[in-house]
Amino acid sequence: MRRRRSLVAVSAVLGGVLMLSACNDGGGDKSQGSSEAGKSQAEVDAAAAKDASKARIAITPKDGSTNVPLNDGTNVAVSDGTLTKVELKSSDGAAVAGKIAADGKSWKPDAALKRSTKYALAATAKDESGKEAHENASFTTLSPENSFVGSFVPEEGETVGVGMPVSITFNKPIKDQKAVQAAISVSSSSGQEVVGHWFGNQRLDFRPEQYWQANSTVTLKLALQGVQGAPGIVGAQNKTVTFKVGRSQVSTVDVKAKTMTVTRDGQVLKTIPISAGSPENPTYNGQMVISEKFKETRMDGSTVGFKNSEGKGEYDIKDVPHAMRLSTSGTFIHGNYWGADSIFGKVNTSHGCVGLNDAQGANDPNQPGAWFFDNSLIGDVVTVVNSPDKTIKPDNGLNGWNMPWAEWKAGPSA
């Protein structure tokens, strides 16, 4: 699921600060068999939403927020249910201690958060019947008014796929982009030439001409301390980050054939039947990089412009299994337990995502959705071909590979 109408644009960096909404694949309840494939999309979405948890989780601050207060700026609340688990982690993986209230209705951290730090929060709740709901959010805390810092992915010590760019998001607009870029270097043990490209005035991505070489090491050096990014705004960050590139895995989704071929280090691992975007809501073409992974997450159509006549989301599935983000605008490749088995490999039914057959609860390792999730890294590439839609824009997610190398090196036009 993804975009289409009145999308919420969120910067695709530091991890994503990426919105957690997505698409819903149609097809019917598995228990009904292949006859469900004939149901309308609205009927399928309504049935799935009806069977979902009644618990409603609200996270403060909103996903993608910046300049979040260090004290009392973060909390979780739930209605029609109780919280069972809340995890808050900083970008370096450090867990933040917090407590769920005695009545199970709220959560907050035990102490103030760190300045200029990216955090990721994941919350789980259950309704009175025991059905789970999930909500996730990412945000960045405030920094001093007269300074700027960059949030970045990948992070120290990570192992990522060959398509993962170095993507830096600055917490303030950068006017002197030349000076700031000169204070940043990215190098690879492979010896590949690495070049930076600006998307707007707050995002700077680095990549080589072709994907990173498998099993190489990449080093990012930030020497921003004292660099003037804009009048009266100077850098406050010196940092060196090293990450590893793992095996080479590129998966090709053929929308027309309704299959996905997973290739690792030049050898085909598996061909998986899929259900991509419907003719009304086709999937983007192009090279897309997995930027986030969630064993289970909520997908609400209202957050990406899919609303019914009452203004509510056309779908609201709180336990979508094995979801992996491919774009800022809401394109995911994910498991689908509500679609009939017969749609996979046969019919494209989704709102733009790529759906794989899966089981509710995300606990069946034999399902295609679980297999692909377990065998994928953040930074792996999913290339979509033969879709009637256009090619995804390079800045919609971590998808700069869709820009020609000459254009990438030339930089944005004045």
What pLDDT does residue 37 have?
A: 53
Among 144-158, 200-214, 342-356, which is the least confidently predicted range? Answer: 144-158
User: What pLDDT, in 10s, does the model give residues 367-384?
Assistant: 999 999 999 999 999 999
The string of DSSP codes covering 250-311 is EEEEETTTTEEEEEETTEEEEEEE-B-B-TTSPPPBEEEE--EEEEEEEEEGGGGT-B-TTS
Give the residue, 47 or 54, on which the prediction is more confident: 54
160 and 230 co-located in one domain: yes
Confidence of residue 163 (pLDDT cuts 50, 70, 90): very high
pLDDT classification of 312: cutoffs 50, 70, 90: low
Residue 103 lies in a domain: yes
168 plus 234 within the same structural domain: yes
Number of domains in the chain: 3
Q: Are residues 266 and 229 in the same domain?
A: no
Would 12 be classed as within a structural domain? no
pLDDT, the chain, mean: 88
305 and 7 in contact (C-beta within 8 Å)?
A: yes
DSSP state letters, 167-179: EEEESS--S-HHH
Query: What DSSP state is assigned to residue 246?
Result: -
239 — pLDDT class (breaks 50, 70, 90): very high
CA angle 383, 389, 395 (to 5 degrees): 60
pLDDT band at 314 (very low <50, low <70, confident <90, very high): low
Q: Is pLDDT of 231 > 60? A: yes
- Are 275 and 337 within 8 A, CB to CB? no
pLDDT of the residue at 16: 37
- For residue 82, the domain's CATH number is 2.60.40.3780
What is the reported pTM? Answer: 0.77
Q: Quick one: 167 and 289 in the same domain?
A: no
Q: Are residues 238 and 253 in the same domain?
A: no
Question: Please, which residues have CB within 8 angstroms of residue 188's CB and are 6 or more apart in sequence?
Answer: 194, 208, 212, 213, 216, 217, 218, 219, 245
399 within some domain:
no
Q: Are residues 267 and 354 in the same domain?
A: yes
Check which CATH number belongs to the domain holding 349 and give it.
2.40.440.10
Closest to 163 (Cα-Cα) out of 219, 208, 122: 208
Domain ends where: 109, 141, 173? 141
Whether residue 328 sits in one domain with residue 240: no
Same domain, 154 and 264: no
Token pair of 196 as six digits: 């930076």
Residues 209 and 320 in one domain: no
* 133 found inside a domain: yes
Active site residues: 334, 353
Does 6 reside within a domain?
Answer: no
The CATH number covering residue 173 comes to 2.60.40.3710
Residue 35 lies in a domain: yes
Same domain (yes/no): 340, 285: yes
Question: Domain end: 247, 280, 309, which one?
Answer: 247
One domain, residues 129 and 79: yes
- Angle at the Cα of 18 (from 366 to 158), degrees rounded to 5? 65
Identify the domain boundary among 141, 162, 182: 141
Q: Is 262 domain-assigned? A: yes
* pLDDT band (50, 70, 90) for residue 186: very high
For residue 6, is pLDDT > 90?
no
Does residue 279 sit in the same domain as residue 353? Answer: yes
Mean pLDDT of 98-125: 95
Is 180 within a domain? yes
Domain coverage including residue 41: 30-53+248-390
